[in-house]
Amino acid sequence: MMDEDSRYEAVRSRDGRFDGAFFFAVETTGIYCRPSCPAVTPKRRNVRFYPSAAAAQRSGFRACRRCRPDAAPGSAEWNVRADVVGRAMRLIADGVVDREGVAGLAARLGYSARQVQRQLTTELGAGPVALARAQRAHTARVLLQTTELAVTEIAFAAGFASVRQFNDTVREVYAATPTEVRTAAPRGAARRAADGTGIPLRLAHRGPYRAAAVLDQLAREAVPGVEEVTGRPGARVYRRTLRLPYGTGIAAVAERTRAPRTGSGVHPSGWLDARLHLTDPRDLTTAVHRLRRLFDLDADPYAIDERLSSDPRLAPLVAARPGLRVPGAVDPLEAAACALLGPTGCGRLVTAYGKTLDTPDGTLTRLFPEPAALARPDGVPAPLAELAAALTDGTLRLDPGADRDDAQRELLALPGMDAATAALIRVRALGDPDVAPPGVQASDAWRPWRTYAFQHLYTAGELPR
């Protein structure tokens, strides 16, 4: 927890460690920024602090055009927390409010809409509608500045109910019309858009990022027909197919990390270059969120490394690999199936039950099967068939808003499910940062980052994967 004086010191030093953790607004300019904004530091008496971009927008501030606070990495707090606010934030990021409304969000959380509204507003200064609206505004800006879609198409693709609502929101958040936002696109965005088809993106992260280790693991675990890693070390590209709420997609994420120039001496938030090919642009928000979960981009390496470095066993491992991440998943069933069967077994499932893409792209030919396709006793290994059936009927939930303890109990109740596999599913499908494999000694001093502690041990070869 930081008081306002500590937050102001972070702003003065342009400390990228806190990008996404809080935002500050300047009353004299009407603009809100991320802590690492390179603009001249405002006077303390003119600064106000907000826990979310939505709260700043709700108070009438517009997004800074220099630091683009709407594109800051997400708060690592939501990955750590297992309470209703943390679960709600993960679901909102996945686009649930846009698709199902506040009632749908509340139903998934098991609370009333009023309770969800109250808890989010208390902690974040904005309710689910305002939080989803801020996310839609960011999606609209990305589409305006990186595609040639008509403005009307972008309005609905970003999740707005009407063109008028879209126009009003863009004016309020960016102090410009949609056409002006498009015209003001940075030259780099236009250049990336010209490099190929699809939607070019910068997937922001905070602090150091060990991309090579992530690509190594994704390459080892790639499911044939669904995933591939190509290129030489240091310049590899991870590609995969995506099954999304409105259509399908193919994502490509480059290994090389990038970071803006900084004079602060503090490692800023950087980004991974990515490109999305979507059959329906309404899936952009969800696709981006799932890629962020897969690449663990919202983690806080500063907090993780500081805690783990205090342990004599882990300190040299952390020093050798600062910013090590734990890959997650874009599809919880896929993560669970790979935990049970491995990538080769999953490849056979994809060939037998996966839907073929309308337009295959090289080795990427199929989507991972839906739960209903695998909830069958013939041809599917029994433990996976039982798991798929539980996902199909709702007995088991592995979506971003699932209660992790409930999910583990349901997993362990499935025939053929052991504790080690359930723990792996909890790490990969649910993104839990504090999981210790059963039967392996883990220090309580590693909490709440035991998942990362074991990732260091696996990566260094001190424990078998």
DSSP 288-347: HHHHHHHTTTT--HHHHHHHHHTSTTTHHHHHHSTT------S-HHHHHHHHHHHHHHHH
188, HSE (Cβ side, Cα atoms, 13 Å)? 4
pLDDT at 16 over 90: no
Q: Yes or no: say if 283 and 244 are a contact pair by the CB < 8 Å rule.
A: yes
DSSP per residue, 141-159? HHHHHH----HHHHHHHTT
Q: Is residue 275 domain-shared with residue 338, that is, in the same domain?
A: no
pLDDT at 268 over 90: no
**Which of helix, strand or coil describes residue 270?**
strand
Q: Is 451 part of a structural domain of the chain?
A: no
297, HSE (Cβ side, Cα atoms, 13 Å)? 28
Q: What is the mean pLDDT of residues 109-126?
A: 95
Among 42, 65, 88, give the residue marking a domain's end.
Answer: 65
Q: Is residue 342 domain-shared with residue 427, that is, in the same domain?
A: yes
Q: Is residue 107 domain-shared with residue 9, that is, in the same domain?
A: no
Q: Is 274 part of a structural domain of the chain?
A: yes
**Residue 399: C-alpha distances to residues 122, 226, 261, 329, 394 (Å):** 25, 20, 37, 10, 11
Q: Is 456 part of a structural domain of the chain?
A: no
Q: Is residue 30 domain-shared with residue 60, that is, in the same domain?
A: yes
Q: Is residue 348 domain-shared with residue 399, that is, in the same domain?
A: yes
Q: Is residue 396 domain-shared with residue 358, that is, in the same domain?
A: yes
Q: Which amino acid does the sequence have at 9?
A: E
What pLDDT digit, counting tens, does each position of 349-361 carry? 999 999 999 999 9
Q: Is residue 236 domain-shared with residue 171, that is, in the same domain?
A: no
Q: What is the mean pLDDT of residues 270-275?
A: 92
Q: Give the pLDDT confidence score for residue 78 in this predicted structure.
A: 82
| Overall size of the chain counted in residues | 465
CA 214/CA 296 separation, integer angstroms: 9
Q: Is residue 57 domain-shared with residue 118, that is, in the same domain?
A: no
Q: Is 141 part of a structural domain of the chain?
A: yes
CATH code at position 399: 1.10.340.30
Q: How confident is the model at residue 251 (pLDDT cuts 50, 70, 90)?
A: very high
CATH code at position 47: 3.40.10.10
Among 244, 259, 282, give the residue marking a domain's end.
Answer: 282
Q: Is 441 part of a structural domain of the chain?
A: no
pLDDT at 267 over 50: no
Q: Is 162 part of a structural domain of the chain?
A: yes
Q: Give the pLDDT confidence score for residue 266 in this predicted structure.
A: 37
Residue 84 sits in which domain range?
A: 77-183
Cβ-based neighbours of 440, under 8 Å, separated by 6 or more: 454, 463
Q: How many domains does the chain have?
A: 4
Q: Is 450 part of a structural domain of the chain?
A: no
Name the pairing type of β-strands 199-205 and 227-230. Answer: unpaired
Q: Is 40 part of a structural domain of the chain?
A: yes
Q: Give the pLDDT confidence score for residue 196 in this predicted structure.
A: 55
Axis crossing angle, helix 96-109 with helix 113-124, rounded to the nearest 10 = 110
Q: What is the mean pLDDT of residues 284-294?
A: 95
What pLDDT digit, counting tens, does each position of 32-74 carry? 999 999 999 999 999 999 999 999 999 999 999 889 898 888 8
Q: Yes or no: say if 269 and 207 are a contact pair by the CB < 8 Å rule.
A: yes
- Provide φ and ψ at 352, rounded to 5°: -80, -35
Among 183, 213, 242, give the residue marking a domain's end.
Answer: 183
Q: How confident is the model at residue 144 (pLDDT cuts 50, 70, 90)?
A: very high
CA 157/CA 163 separation, integer angstroms: 11
Q: Is residue 82 domain-shared with residue 177, that is, in the same domain?
A: yes
